[in-house]
Amino acid sequence: MRLGNWLTVEQSIALWRAPDGNKLKGKRDRALLALLLACGLRRHEAAGLRLEHLEQREEHWAIVDLKGKAGHVRTVPVPGWVMEELRVWLNAAGIDRGKIFRRVTKMGRVLGEGMTEKAVWHIVKDSSKRIGLQKLAPHDLRRTCARLCHSAGGELEQIQFLLGHVSIQTTERYLGCKQRIQSAVNDRIGIEPRP
């Protein structure tokens, strides 16, 4: 089974900052890449994301009632810095309802009422090439989100909720986790006899 790729923290920062933030297309691409990296959305989820999905819950921004794979519905917390990237894009594009991500013409104008999953693919590919990464797919950003959350101390079940995985084993595969027997997690939990 192919495990995919994961980005380091430094590569992740370079990726979402790769598009030119002074141009309308760059503002959109930065917002999209930040969302994929920090929220672990799938391509179709990002392409279908609507402004109406964004709500405040428990004093935190979230994507509410997001339909994922196999029709599973979940709520995805959105970090403040990602909301700021989204605000920059939405304000510059003049979007106040409907789909968040839209096509941008070469002349820098918003076109239509959305964008395709394939467009998301191209944005990831183009941005990754700019920072010297050749074989990066949008789903690798989902894996990266999971691993960065785990490295930052995120609990496995919370990462599972974030990604919308039904099975914890799927989340473990995303993290590249393997059980350690020699230095087992339950060796020193505070209830063992003391010498």
Active site residues: 42, 69, 139, 142, 165, 174
| Gyration radius of the chain over CA positions | 18
Q: Are 45 and 66 in contact (CB under 8 A)?
A: yes
User: What gap in Å lies between CA 38 and CA 166, rounded to an integer?
Assistant: 20
User: What gap in Å lies between CA 112 and CA 99, rounded to an integer?
Assistant: 10
Token code pair at residue 49 = 């994301």
User: What gap in Å lies between CA 65 and CA 63, rounded to an integer?
Assistant: 7
Q: Is the dihedral of CA 138, 174, 82, 164 positive or negative?
A: positive
Provide the β-strand partners of residue 73.
Answer: 67
Provide the β-strand partners of residue 111.
Answer: 103
Helix extents (H) in the chain: 9-17, 24-39, 43-48, 80-93, 117-130, 138-151, 156-163, 168-175
